[in-house]
Amino acid sequence: MKILAKLLTLVLLTFVFFNSLNAGITGKIAGYVKDAETGDGLPGANVFIEGTSLGAAADLEGHFIILNIPPGIYTLKCSMMGYQSQKVENIRVSIDLTTTINFDLGTEVVDIGGEVTVVAEREIIQPDMTSSLSAVGAEEIRNLPVQEISDVLEMQAGLVADPVGGLHVRGGRSGEVAFWIDGIAATDVYSGNMGVEVENASIQELQVVSGTFNAEYGQAMSGIINIVTKEGGPEYHGEARFFMGDYVSANTDIFDHIGFINPVSIYNMQGTLSGPVPFISNKLNFFSMVRYFENEGWFYGKNRYKPTGYLDSDDWVSLNPFRKISTQGKLAYSITPMMKLSYGLFWNDNKFRNFDHSFKYNPDGDYQRFESGYTHIASFNHVLSPKTFYELKFTKFYTDYQQYVYEDPLQVVQYLPDPADTSGNTFIIDPNGPEGYVHPDSLRDPVSYSFKHAGTKMDHFFRSTAYEIVKFDLVSQVNKANQFKTGIEFRRHDLELEWFTRKSSRLNRTYLTPPRLTMIIIIIILWRLPGISRTK
């Protein structure tokens, strides 16, 4: 008995510590259909969402529940033989929440007929909200005067960003926030940040859970950021946006060159297109987005010196430039009204430099920085009955970051033959030779001890995060007040790190490179305990 008790305890602890589970990506609509005169429920009343195949029939008491609804704004219609049909417009469905809509159907008059239209009002209190959360829909994001997802997140209660872009929920650390895209974990496990950034134009709904998470969430101590992306519809929609500008400040004593206005110092081009795939059945829809953004920054220096120490052009150059290219898309195929297959791709590529005042007059000696990544998400959704559905998902995630002055660590400058010159320097760099890494002793300061007028930074840094996830979710509405969820998830992580510094021998002037360092592979299997959640 003691052995059995210990085994059961171990199993329970395993469930507790590895219960990381998956964020929801759909909501539901529930309500009651009754006779407007008698107040009696109307069993068998037909309730459906216009423009979709989603719907339900009222039970013997007049209650109905529609599951598996993607977040968005909908129109709900109710009809029954002998009664006047009624529809409710502007219904907001949010991730993991229940929207309550009730119908009062009046007796149909044969010679008048017609339909009653009602505009839904958002509930002040959400009965099934068991955590502190805020949600922002696609239309709200579109109307905000912001361009980045970080700007949207900073507007949510309890969430702030630090100077380097880290997100903090209720005072927690930036690495304690978990990110989810379309129901799949999208957190870079190395940095704790979002691995591949989702553009605002691709977001259908963004939800921030800032406390008391449900059992289905895990591997986050501060908050959850859950994003559901857009899908194409039966009609074509497209949009193109372009803007440009520059930074302006009267503090010219602090910001060099800020008084020179360049209207294309900042420019952004992006476009979206969605609809049915041409020349194919209307069951296959697509959504696509592409964006190019470039920002020269607001800190400027001069190319006064080359890393070799020789004089350069003395032109103004940005010390904190940033360039981003991103593309995102999704294909959705309705195999039958009960089965849907979808595939999403998210890819971005960033190039930038961080400001370092000591390289103000030798900017080519500072690091170049690169970030890139992609996420593939494939899912299969199958509705078994009006109250039960399951979803099978697979994702492949990859992101990397690297920094260096020259991509080839063996790229070095050439020296003129000895002897030393009249100034006493031992090694004289050939001014006509190729650019390359310079001996660390060349990082000399002028009299002010503030700026480097020769030399390069010597580190080479590369790291990557990759993982594959396979998961299965099953959801069933047991009755009008209780919902059952369970599932299983498998993850395989692969982290790689290379970090070395160029070394030099003073005797033979040859550079030494240490061996490559690679981190171990981590494999984690996650299993969820079945749970019952109150929805009313």
**Beta bridge pairs of residue 287:** 274, 330
Residue 37: count of CB within 10 angstroms of its CB: 10
Q: Give yes or no for residue 474 having a pLDDT over 60.
A: yes
Using the structure block, give the residue that is written with the tokens 């946006």: 241
Q: Where are the alpha helices (DSSP H) in 441-512?
A: none
Using the structure block, give the residue that is written with the tokens 């990082």: 443
Where, residue-wise, is CATH 2.60.40.1120 in the chain?
16-119
Sign of torsion over alpha carbons 163, 164, 168, 171: negative
For 96, residues 6+ apart whose C-beta sits below 8 A from its C-beta are 23, 24, 26, 27, 207, 214, 226
Write out pLDDT tens, residues 72-91: 899 999 999 889 899 999 99
Q: Give yes or no for residue 404 having a pLDDT over 90.
A: yes
Lowest mean pLDDT segment, chosen from 291-300, 467-476, 521-530: 521-530
Q: Give yes or no for residue 529 having a pLDDT over 80.
A: no
For 351, residues 6+ apart whose C-beta sits below 8 A from its C-beta are 322, 323, 368, 369, 370, 371
Write out pLDDT tens, residues 296-352: 999 999 998 888 877 878 899 999 999 999 999 999 999 998 999 999 999 999 999
Whole-number average pLDDT of the chain? 82
Where, residue-wise, is CATH 2.170.130.10 in the chain?
132-229
Is the pLDDT higher at 210 or at 430? Answer: 210
**Beta bridge pairs of residue 49:** 76
User: What whole-number distance in Å separates Cα of residue 59 and Cα of residue 519?
Assistant: 57
| Contact predicate 99/70, CB 8 Å | no
| Contact predicate 460/488, CB 8 Å | no
Amino acid type, 130: T
Q: Binning pLDDT at 50, 70 and 90, where does residue 22 land?
A: very low
Write out pLDDT tens, residues 237-288: 999 999 999 998 888 888 888 888 889 999 999 999 999 998 887 889 999 9
pLDDT at 5: 52
Q: Give yes or no for residue 402 having a pLDDT over 80.
A: yes
Q: Give yes or no for residue 439 having a pLDDT over 70.
A: no
Can you give the length of the chain in residues?
536
Q: CA 77 from chain center: how many Å?
A: 34
Sign of torsion over alpha carbons 398, 401, 404, 406: positive
The three-state secondary structure class of 18 is coil
User: What whole-number distance in Å separates Cα of residue 311 and Cα of residue 429?
Assistant: 13
Q: Binning pLDDT at 50, 70 and 90, where does residue 535 land?
A: very low
CATH of domain 16-119: 2.60.40.1120
Q: Going along 55-148, which residue ranges are E strands?
A: 55-57, 63-69, 72-79, 85-93, 98-100, 103-105, 115-119, 132-137
pLDDT at 432: 74
Write out pLDDT tens, residues 115-142: 677 666 666 556 666 667 888 999 999 9
Tell me the HSE value of 474 on the side-chain side, using a 13 A CA sphere.
12
* Rounded average pLDDT over 199-207: 94
Say which CATH topology domain 132-229 has: Ferric Hydroxamate Uptake Protein; Chain A, domain 1 (2.170.130)
pLDDT at 291: 97
pLDDT at 239: 93
Q: What are all long-range contacts of 45-50, with beta carbons under 8 Å and residues at least 24 apart?
A: 45/78, 45/79, 45/80, 45/83, 45/103, 45/105, 46/78, 46/79, 46/80, 47/76, 47/77, 47/78, 47/103, 48/76, 48/77, 49/74, 49/75, 49/76, 49/77, 50/74, 50/75, 50/76, 50/77, 50/87
User: What whole-number distance in Å separates Cα of residue 343 and Cα of residue 393?
Assistant: 10
Lowest mean pLDDT segment, chosen from 115-129, 146-160, 439-453, 503-517: 503-517
Q: Kindly calculate the radius of gyration of the chain based on its CA atoms and give it in whole angstroms.
A: 30
Q: Binning pLDDT at 50, 70 and 90, where does residue 163 land?
A: confident
Residue 350: count of CB within 10 angstroms of its CB: 17
Q: Give yes or no for residue 6 having a pLDDT over 70.
A: no
* Rounded average pLDDT over 181-210: 90
* Rounded average pLDDT over 28-57: 92
Write out pLDDT tens, residues 51-64: 888 999 999 999 99
Name the helix (H) or strand (E) containing 140. Answer: helix 138-143
Tell me how far apart the terminal alpha carbons of the chain are, to the nearest angstrom. Answer: 41
Prior bond of 419 cis (ω within 30°): yes
